[in-house]
Amino acid sequence: MVSKKGKLHTKKLEKDDIIVVDTKMAKKSVIATAVGNAMEWFDFGIYSYLAVILGALFFPEFSGPLQLVFSFATFAVAFLVRPFGGLFFGMLGDRLGRKKILAITLIIMAIATLAIGLIPTYDSIGITAPILLLTARLVQGFSAGGEYSGAMTYIAESTADKKRGFLSSGLEVGTLVGYITGAGIVTLLTFLLGSETMHEWGWRIPFFIAAPIGIIGFYLRNNLDETPAFESQEEEDNQEGKASLKNIFIHHRKSLLIGLGLVSFYNTVYYVILTYMPSHLNAVLGYGDTKGLLLILVVMVIMIPFVLMAGYFSDRIGNKKIILFGLSGMIVLSIPSFILIGSGNNWLVFFGLMILGALLASFQGIMPSLLPSLFFTEVRYGSLAITYNVATSVFGGTAPLVVSWLISVTMSRMVPAYYIIFASIIGIIIVALFVVETSGKSLRGQPPAVEKKQEIHDVLEEPEEALWWKDEKREITERKDDENK
């Protein structure tokens, strides 16, 4: 822990400053945080696959495509409140601690998801039914706003510096597993129960499953320790202005803008490939609903080891190199991939999707460790929440809509490829010019974290390298002091 002789950036690094991470606890934290992320995407998966049924049950006054539009509009409205939820929970997380807030966001999300399964349909209570559905989605979105940013913060702060990339990639495995599980359960229930029974009551079952997932996740998170980084920050007694928006926007503006850029290109590519593509395969290329969805699910399953590999190699050769490799691949191979996807040959379609999925995994596995490294401990949760949720709502959530509109205007099937290429070019510029390599280094504002006590000696031999962020912290502190004069 941090010595009380002085703040870390103003004193010589000492042996007692260095954090020795309990590897078992670090792995436990990955599981506990990944469960919450899995639940968010479990809901995403079941809602996407039940959109047609929910449209018929909650919006029967509309017909055909309009039912689907209103169903997806109710789903999309959650993106509108995510930034507000992120701001609320992020500020609390920087003031009260990561563990408490993560437990709260998970239980709120579980209750809201369960509530959807309990709502009577339009035939039973009329207009109140879609209003209740909308309310539940708003609650889900609000809690989700604090979920992913808090999970990233917790894992990054709980792992050894040289293992941060690999262990943090487990969070994205939770994303993929959650979506695959949700979509898989809906597909299985539809096969076992049939369309008529699914419309009657079968659609409720996936939402009910949220309850036990939430209970398990809450138990796991409630038994976690607070992160060493947050405890170190507490010992520095640097609480004044901690959860301040002014502090974030004035003194951490550069990191905030870099984070917004990173999340924008990442989520644009992510949502085009994993969220929009099933619709593209069906509506634009004429494949059947089931075929397109199953192809994407298989690709997501195969992406899991690629995500873990990206995290593993980022600890060894650096996160910047891995991301730049993935982005370069997207620029070069997006058009050939979409040519394969449009060929009509099942194997070529799958190969084209797999190329895109593997390249996406190359930076999907790195973002959970890279993004937290942009910010200092005292503002990390709040800054990440603002960065991630604003960029996701503005760029990620709108990507399928924008691509669909561009296709309707240009009549070109290659629009998704061009959109991915454009986002990837922006990503390369941001990563190459503005991102500092942080793999294997301590997080900003955090003492070095090692896996074994034997590593402490090596860290103390290069104290300036260990606290590479000291000058940046000193500049921020001086600006604050000048403002207070």
Cβ atoms of 431 and 323 within 8 Å: the answer is yes
Q: Phi then psi for 351, rounded to 5 degrees?
A: -65, -40
**Predicted local distance difference test score (pLDDT) of residue 239:** 46
Looking at the chain, the whole-number percentage of residues with pLDDT higher than 90 is 39
Instruction: Show the DSSP H helices in 198-285 as ranges.
Output: 204-208, 210-222, 228-235, 245-246, 253-270, 277-279
Alpha-carbon distance 255 to 203, whole Å? Answer: 43
Please determine, for residue 396, whether its predicted confidence score (pLDDT) is greater than 90.
no
Q: Does residue 411 sit in helix, strand or coil?
A: coil
Model pLDDT, residue 241: 46
Rounded to the nearest integer, the mean pLDDT of the chain is 86
Q: Residue 67 and residue 325: Cα distance in Å, rounded?
A: 42
pLDDT at 466 over 60: yes
C-alpha 111: how far from chain center: 21
HSE (side-chain half, CA atoms, 13 Å) at 275: 25
Nearest Cα residue to 269 out of 336, 173, 361, 186:
361
What is residue 448's DSSP assignment? -
Predicted confidence at residue 235, as pLDDT, reads: 62
Answer left, alpha or beta for residue 241, where phi above 0 means left and psi between -120 and 50 means alpha.
left
Secondary structure class of 20 (helix, strand, coil): strand
CB burial of residue 216 (10 Å; 0-12, 13-18, 19+): middle
User: Exposed e or buried b for every residue in 291-323, given b needs 16+ CB within 10 A?
Assistant: ebbebbbebbebbbebbbbbbbbbbeebbbbbb
Instruction: Provide mean pLDDT across the span 208-225.
Output: 85
Q: Residue 209, SS3?
A: coil
Q: Which of 76-80, 288-292, 382-386, 413-417 comes out lowest in average pLDDT?
A: 288-292
- Give the rounded percent of residues in the chain with a pLDDT score beyond 70: 92
| Rounded mean pLDDT, 414-436 | 95
Query: Cβ–Cβ contacts within 10 Å for residue 115, how many?
Result: 18
The residue-averaged pLDDT of 79-83 equals 87
In degrees to the nearest 10, what's the CA dihedral of 178, 181, 186, 187?
Answer: 130
- pLDDT of amino acid 327: 97
Per-residue confidence (pLDDT) for residue 236, from 0 to 100: 60
Task: Give the integer Cα–Cα distance in Å for 256 and 336.
Answer: 35
Going from N- to C-terminal start, the domains of the chain cover 19-484
Spacing of C-alpha 407 from chain mean position: 27
Cα distance between the two ends of the chain: 31
3-class SS at 19? strand
Kind of pairing between the strands at 19-20 and 449-450: parallel
Joined together, the tokens standing for residue 299 give: 């690709």
Q: How far is CA 419 from CA 79, 265, 292, 373, 438, in A?
A: 21, 10, 20, 28, 29
What's the confidence (pLDDT) of residue 63?
Answer: 67
pTM of the model: 0.88
Q: Judge whether residue 240 has pLDDT over 60.
A: no
Residue 437: predicted pLDDT: 93
Is the pLDDT at 294 greater than 70, yes or no?
yes
Assigned CATH class of 19-484: mainly alpha
In a 3-state reduction of DSSP, which class is residue 450? strand
125: pLDDT confidence band, cut at 50, 70 and 90? very high
d(CA 147, CA 166): 20
Question: Which pLDDT score, from 0 to 100, does residue 8 have?
Answer: 64
pLDDT tier for residue 255 given thresholds of 50, 70 and 90: very high
Q: Is the pLDDT of residue 2 over 50?
A: no
Rounded CA separation 477/482 (Å): 9
The residue-averaged pLDDT of 135-150 equals: 89
Give the residue among 422, 330, 230, 300 at the shortest CA–CA distance from 45. 300
Quick check: helix, strand or coil at residue 449? strand
Q: pLDDT value at position 10?
A: 60
DSSP annotation of 435: P
DSSP string computed for 59-102: -TTS-THHHHHHHHHHHHHHHHHHHHHHHHHHHHHHHH-HHHHH
| Mean pLDDT on 261-288 | 85
> Residue 253: pLDDT above 80?
yes
With bands split at pLDDT 50, 70 and 90, how would you rate the model's confidence at 4? very low
Is there a contact between 40 and 389 (Cβ–Cβ < 8 Å)? Answer: no
Q: Which of 223, 217, 221 is nearest to 114 (CA)?
A: 217
| 3-class DSSP state of 339 | helix
